[in-house]
Structure formats: structure tokens, C-alpha cells
Amino acid sequence: MATITIDGNVFEVENNLTIIQAARNNGIDIPHFCWHPQLSVAGNCRMCLVEVEKMPKLVIACSTQVANGMIVHTKNPRVIQARQAVMEFLLINHPLDCPICDEAGECKLQDYAYAHSIGYSRFEEEKVHKPKRVELGAHVMLDTERCIMCSRCVRFCDEIAGKPQLTFTQRGDHVELTTFPGEKLDNPYSMNVIDICPVGALTSRDFRFKARVWEMSATETICPGCARGCNMNTWVRNNEILRQTPRYNPDVNQSWMCDWGRLETLRQVNSDARIRGPLMKKDTGVVEVGWDEAVVRVSSELKSFRKGEIAVLGSAFDTNEDNYALQRFAREVLQTRNLDFKRHEAPGQEDRLLISSDRTPNTRGAVEVGLHPGEHGANVEAIVRGIREGSIKSLLLVDDNLAADAAIAQILSRLEFLVVLASVENETTRLADIVLPTSTYAEKNGTFTNLQGRVQRIRPSVATLDQDRALDGFAMSRLDKLGSQFDRWAKGAKRDARPTWRIIAGIALLMGGRFKYQTAEDVFADIASHVDAFSGMSYRRIGNKGMLLKSGKEMRVHQPA
């Protein structure tokens, strides 16, 4: 350990830290552009200059290691003057187009211009002009004039994505960021460069010019795109998700997420094919009905079959709460052993950084909460066989498009009664006698258990007509903050979707089940008191970083060599 003094305060710090790390660990922020905690040190922006007593010149805090007895000044007149000079140089050629820049409101250069520059420009000459709309790849646009050459994006591609695709050309104030000749920025993690760019040089082609950042609210949740369960924020304006960005969790995804998870998972939420309310097949065709009518019909139809004639298929796309309620319903109310869910493994699609071959967010959790046939029950294959052979006559199927496979679709069409819980129209909903619309990951509270066995919270960012959101303690505190904005959303929300656990609890009630759940948190409390692996857990304890199952084994986030 080393004893160092920063701005008059004495700290005990690890010997192997740099000044910027030691300061940060002790709550002192030293301004910086090129330094990033997950990247190598470049030391090129000079913004983190500090004075160390007995050293003749100012030093950069990002690459100077602490030493015992070191006395550091981060805001004395000499340091402040140096910082102002760096800002003045950076702004000489900067276009200052904040009013039309996507980064405005979350831009380091803008923030530092207020905090650390002299407040006016002495530069009267013509600025150097460079290309302003360069398509670096399918998802990332470069405004070359805004780039301050910090090299964060270059280092990200080299060191994290493991795909060197970006570099600098030219010299002096004509330096430009570019891709290597003939290359595109097309690695599966390319959009992370947008998040770490400290200015508005790199922008998302998907989100570009859609909203100013202060018009949106951010909700801390989990990507449902694969079993990694990357932590992310969903950004919403007027009840529509406009972008998703990674949220730091050192145990899961560090600061990164893949482009697919960022862009594709939100499409189901905003989809035109969303089911707006319960649907029922009648003699006249498929008609929209109310929840009461739909649930009464489901319960009375299910009652007309014998135990062994009914099967239940849940979903690894659903939460622990959804699947726990579903397996209770199957075991306690329907008393069927035909209970399972379909796995979605895509061997070969995984990589060494984050992407998992399990394309669902909650396979581990589904098994842990009991969504499996047990020793003598029927699994997915046996259920499909049973339907084909006629021994299984009725199926309750949740959030999985089994009929996307034409052969399976033909088998499902033999069922006497098919009830499907789904959020978007698909081949399976078209076969169903009754469709009950489910909330997506962005519209409900709950938990996913990732491939490490880490239980993580999802939270609603988009309103449906369902009241789950308003009943949840966490959501209420957010609502208080959002105030009238939420009222507008709730009134504007058109989808009458509900979380699976709530739909199942409603059906169970009509069939003699006693599921006394008001909120997703109630279901989770039931899980924690009945499933060993979850014992001791609560939403409060899970917090923002998640909690490992008792049986969970933590695995390190792999980095490319």
C-alpha cells in the first residue's frame, strides 16, 4: 500500500494504481477524455494533467503510478491553466454544433467546456473542415470534424472486440479517423464505440436525430437477447423505446453489449404485430374479447379435459416469476406432468466476449423454478409426440412460436384446444383457439437468471393498460419522479397485455387455485421461500447488480486473447 495526498487529503491506496485510478477510487474525478477504465492507457488527450510535488513538469494522471509519500494537486492554478489550454486547443477546430448533435446533454466535451475552459475563443481563423457524414459501418456514423482523436474507439476494436478495424490517417490538425482500407466497422460489438466516444463524433444510425437525451427517461434492466443477460438501460420517450445502451456490471458485461441485443430485442416491443387484447376463435372467425370472457373460457375448456390430456409449455423468454406461477398452475391446478419448455440453442453463434449460444435470457431460471417434467413427466418431444398420437388433446403454450416449424404447426392443428400466451402475432397464435396478450421484457417487473446463475432484475419502461407497474414499489418511486409524463403514457398505452404470472393466477383462481399474488415481487417472495437456490433473495437484495443462485457458479467474462 502507498500513502498519497490528493488536494490535501491523505489516502491509503494500492501500489499498482495510477493517480487517476487512486483518485477515482476515493471519489475524486480528474477530467479525462482518452482514458477509459476498461481500455489500455493512451495518454494522448493531456486533459488529466496534475501537479506532483518534486516533479518538474505537470504529469498525466492516467499513466503515472502512485508512490508512497506522493503529493498530488488536481486543481491548483497551474493545473487549471493547463486544463484550460488543452480545452482551448481541442475547441479550435471543433465545429461547436451542439444544437444539432446527438451527444449534447451527455457529452464530455460540452460538460468540460463549461467546467474547465476559459469560456470564449481567441481563434478567429477558418477552422479545418472534414467530412461530416461518414458511414463507418451498418450501425455507426462518423462526423470527422467532431473527433478529438482520443483513440478510445480504436482501442475498443483492438482490445475488446478483438477486431482491429479503425485507425487514424494524416497528420496534425488534418488527422482523421477511418476504417482500414477495404474494411467496415462491422464487428458484433461495433456500437459500443458510440457509448465510449467522449464527443458526438460517433453516432448511432438507428437512433440518430430521433430525440434529445433530456427528453427520454432511462430504466435499468436486462437484455433479453441471450443467456448472458447484459445489464442495460432502455431509453423511452412517449411510451416508445428509442435506444438501449449498456449498463456497467463488472460481473456480467463490464461496459459492453452486442449490437444485436441493443437493436433487435426492442423490435418486439415496438412491433406493429403486437397483440392488443385477448383474441378468441368463434364461428364467425377470430374476434377481440375482454379479459373476463377469455379467462372464463380458458378455465372452463381446461376443466373439460382429463389431467393427462393437458400439456403446458412455458418459455425461457419469460421471467422466473412467470415460469414459477406457470409450473405451480400445471402441478397444483391442472395436476399434469406434461410440463416443459423449448430450448433455443444455436451452437457456434457464441463468442469469447459476451454472446451466448443460448438465445434466451432465462433457461437457467426456468429449470431452477421447476419448469420441467420431473422424473415421470413428458418433455417437449414427448408432448409433441402425445399431440400427434392423440393422447394430449389440449395445450397451454407460453411465449414461444413453436408453429414456426411447419411440421410442428401441422401437429398442433390436431389439438382440440390450444391456448397461446404471446406478445406478437405469429404462426402459433394463428392456430390458437384463444390468444392472451403478454407483456414484453420492457413492460413488466421480474427477474431473469443468466448463464452464470446470476438473478437479475428487469423493470418496466413502457406502459401497458395493465397495472403491474403502478403496484410495484420501485416503479412508484420512478413514477413520482416522472410525474405527469407517466400519466400521458398510461393514457396513451394501447396494449392490453399482462405478465404471464398474472394471467395464470387469474385462470388458476377460476379453477380453484389460490395464487394470492398482487405484484411480481409477491411471486418472487414465494419463489425465495420455496426454491432453495433462491432462498434469502429479495428484489431489494438483488438490487442493480444481481445475486448469484445458491447453486450458481460465477464465471469470468471472457476476453479475446
Which residue, 56 or 172, has its beta carbon nearer to ligand SF4? 172
Closest distance of CB 172 from ligand SF4, Å: 15
> What is the per-residue DSSP string for 97-130?
-GGG-TTTTS-HHHHHHHHHS-SS----SPPPP-
Which residue, 49 or 258, has its beta carbon nearer to ligand SF4? 258
> What is the per-residue DSSP string for 304-333?
TS-GGGEEEEE-TTS-HHHHHHHHHIIIII
Closest distance of CB 382 from ligand SF4, Å: 30
Which residue, 150 or 432, has its beta carbon nearer to ligand SF4? 150
Which residue, 51 or 220, has its beta carbon nearer to ligand SF4? 220
Strands 394-398 and 310-314: parallel
Closest distance of CB 496 from ligand SF4, Å: 28
How many helices and strands in the chain, by DSSP H and E? 19, 23
Binding site for ligand SF4 (CB under 6 A): 147-153, 177, 197-199, 201-202, 223, 225-226, 228-230, 253, 257-258, 260-261, 354-356
Closest distance of CB 20 from ligand SF4, Å: 17
Closest distance of CB 516 from ligand SF4, Å: 33
Closest distance of CB 199 from ligand SF4, Å: 5
- Give the Cα separation of 66 and 559 in Å (integer): 27
- Give the Cα separation of 369 and 341 in Å (integer): 12
Residue 561: all three cell numbers together: 486473447
Which residue, 350 or 526, has its beta carbon nearer to ligand SF4? 350
Distance of CA 4 to the CA centre of its chain: 39
- Over its C-alpha atoms, the chain yields an Rg (Å, rounded) of 27
Closest distance of CB 22 from ligand SF4, Å: 25
Closest distance of CB 356 from ligand SF4, Å: 6
Which residue, 197 or 302, has its beta carbon nearer to ligand SF4? 197
SS3 label, residue 21 = helix
The angle, 0 to 180 degrees and rounded to 10, between the axes of the packed helices 77-92 and 108-116 is: 130
Strands 2-6 and 71-73: parallel
Could you give the count of Cα atoms lying within 13 Å of 190 in the half-sphere of its Cβ?
25
Closest distance of CB 317 from ligand SF4, Å: 12
- Give the Cα separation of 380 and 384 in Å (integer): 6
- Give the Cα separation of 137 and 148 in Å (integer): 20
- Give the Cα separation of 361 and 450 in Å (integer): 6
Closest distance of CB 470 from ligand SF4, Å: 28
Q: Which residue has the cell 482520443?
A: 150
Element (H, E) at 541: helix 539-542
Closest distance of CB 253 from ligand SF4, Å: 6
Closest distance of CB 344 from ligand SF4, Å: 12
SS3 label, residue 520 = helix
Which residue, 228 or 498, has its beta carbon nearer to ligand SF4? 228
> Using the 8-state DSSP alphabet, how is residue 137 labeled?
S
Which residue, 228 or 342, has its beta carbon nearer to ligand SF4? 228
Which residue, 253 or 500, has its beta carbon nearer to ligand SF4? 253
Which residue, 264 or 487, has its beta carbon nearer to ligand SF4? 264
SS3 label, residue 292 = helix
Which residue, 441 or 539, has its beta carbon nearer to ligand SF4? 441
> Using the 8-state DSSP alphabet, how is residue 249 labeled?
B
Residue 228: all three cell numbers together: 448472458
Closest distance of CB 105 from ligand SF4, Å: 17
Q: Residue 137: which of 209, 196, 192 has the closest Cα?
A: 192
Count the Cβ atoms, other than its own, within 10 Å of residue 193.
28
> What is the per-residue DSSP string for 439-467?
--GGG--EEEE-TTSEEEEE---S--SSS
- Give the Cα separation of 127 and 266 in Å (integer): 40
Which residue, 127 or 550, has its beta carbon nearer to ligand SF4? 127
Q: Cβ(142)–Cβ(129) under 8 Å? A: no
Which residue, 21 or 356, has its beta carbon nearer to ligand SF4? 356
- Give the Cα separation of 61 and 47 in Å (integer): 9
